Amino acid sequence: MQKHSLMLLAAAIGLAASQASAADLPRKAPPAAIPPAPPPITWTGCYIGGNVGGIFGRGDAHFSNFEVGSNERSGFTGGGQIGCDYQFAGGWVIGIRDMFNGTSLGRDRTFFDPVTGFTGTVDSHINWFDTLTGRIGYAFAPSWLLYGQGGVAWIHHRADLTFAGIDFGTFGKTRTGWTAGGGVEWMFAPGWSAFLEGNYMDFGDQNHTVFGTAVSGVCLAPVGCSFDTHVKAATVLVGVNWRWGGKAPGYRY
């Protein structure tokens, strides 16, 4: 009986010792949680940014008596833009944007009146332009957008006229026309994108009065009472946008 009791005591002591040894062993850490996948890239949201580039213009001018001719010129342009986009499931994107740029576009043109034999100059300048456009694009890759756009454009055009040594003054006016173009945009970092685009603007004919008319409707101005101009311009721009807001279509956050 005593021997049996001793055996039970030894077994209990051994069991307690094994449990204590097991408690002292390092425990295996649980597997690390898998981080959630980043949200997919989306063009939905609004943006603001800046741009620089070149502007290429053409001005056609004529008086009621004769043609002055065309004036080709080029210059620098830079400014800013603000807009918003919405991306549908499937990659299609629609948006609206306003862009305002200043320009250095200007050039003098010398002309000759075959009727009077006098010469003159027309100094033409485009000070700024503003375009309000809608655009539609397709995200052909997660971070690349190909788009076209079109809408209304405003431009401030100034023409200084000198004829036969007489300064007839400055004819300046904000003109309204239309614009169309397109480009490609790349989202190179979260919230940041860069674009390259080209646009065309046309502002139609604008009539300026140089002098009034005399008795019986005879024009007293040596070059004619009517001075007409037609302005067209094209731009090639690169720019950067800072974007915010918006969620990818169909994604649960």
Q: What is the pLDDT of residues 166-186, one digit of tens each?
A: 555 556 678 899 999 999 999
Query: Which residue in this structure is represented by tokens 């320009």?
Result: 103
Q: Write the single-letter amino acid at 228.
A: D
Domains parsed from the chain with CATH numbers: 46-244 (2.40.160.20)
**Phi, psi for residue 88 in degrees, rounded to 5:** -85, 160
pLDDT tens-place string over residues 131-180: 999 999 999 998 999 999 999 999 987 766 666 555 555 566 788 999 99
For the chain, the average pLDDT equals 76
Beta-carbon contacts of residue 155 (< 8 Å; ≥ 6 apart) = 126, 128, 129, 130, 174, 175, 177, 201, 203, 231, 233
Beta-carbon contacts of residue 125 (< 8 Å; ≥ 6 apart) = 105, 106, 157, 158, 159, 160
Say yes or no to pLDDT of 118 above 70. Answer: no
pLDDT tens-place string over residues 26-51: 566 566 666 655 567 899 999 999 99
Please state the rounded mean pLDDT for residues 75-91: 95
Say yes or no to pLDDT of 61 above 70. Answer: no
Say how far apart CA 137 and CA 92 lie, in whole Å.
Answer: 6
Say how far apart CA 11 and CA 17 lie, in whole Å.
Answer: 10
